[in-house]
Amino acid sequence: MPARNQAALDFLLTRRSHPAKLFTHPVPDRDQLVEILTAALRVPDHGKLEPWRLVILQGAAFARLADLAEARAHELNGDAEKVAKGRGQYDVGKLAVVVISSPKPAPKVPEVEQRLSAGALCFGIVNAAEAAGWGACWLTGWPAHDAAFVASAFGCTEGESVAGIVHIGTPPPDAPDRPRPDLARLTTWVDQ
C-alpha cells in the first residue's frame, strides 16, 4: 500500500473557499505569493506547454478595474445590477491572481486539455494559499467573460480567456461553509 499523507488528506477533506468580500488585510507579501504560485504551478500540464499565464492584481489596479467594468457595463447598456456585479469583486479586492488560459498550438494536446490545465491551476492556487494559512476564493463574473474587458484589463489576445480570478487575503475567523455534494448521488461505479 502506498504511503499515506494524512495531514494533506485532512486538509483536503476540510478545506473550503472563503467569500472574497470578507477578506481583510494583511495579504501575502511578494515572497509569500511566490511560494503559493510555485506550489500551484505543479499543475497537470500535458505536453509541458504551460498554456496559461498569470496577472497579479494589487493596490490601485482594483479601482482601475472596477471603473473599467462599470464603463463596459454602460457600453453594453447594462442596468444598475450589471454595473454593481461588474464592479463587485474589484471594489473589495485586496490581492488577486488572474489565471489567463492561453492555449498553444499542439496537435497532440487538445485545446480542451489545455483549458482544463488552467482551471487546475486556479484550484492549485486556492489550495496552496489556504495551505499557507490565507483565505482564497476563485471567482469570475461577467466582465471576465467579456472580450473587450479582458483585452483592456489583462491584455488578453484572441484565443485567450480568463479561467479564474483567485482572491487571496486574511479570512474572517468564522467563515460560513456551504453544503457539500452528495457523493453517492453523483457517482457511478463501473466494474465490468
From the annotation, which residues make up the binding site for FMN? 15-17, 42, 46, 138-140
Radius of gyration of the chain (CA): 18
Amino acid at 72: R
Q: What single-letter DSSP state applies at residue 79? A: -
Residues 98 and 138: their CA atoms lie apart, in Å, by 9
How do beta strands 95-101 and 161-169 pair? Answer: antiparallel
Chain-centroid distance, C-alpha 177: 18
> Residue with C-alpha cell 480570478?
165
> Residue with C-alpha cell 479564474?
164
Q: Do residues 146 and 72 make contact, with C-beta atoms less than 8 angstroms apart?
A: yes
Q: Do residues 172 and 166 make contact, with C-beta atoms less than 8 angstroms apart?
A: no
From the annotation, which residues make up the binding site? 15-17, 42, 46, 138-140
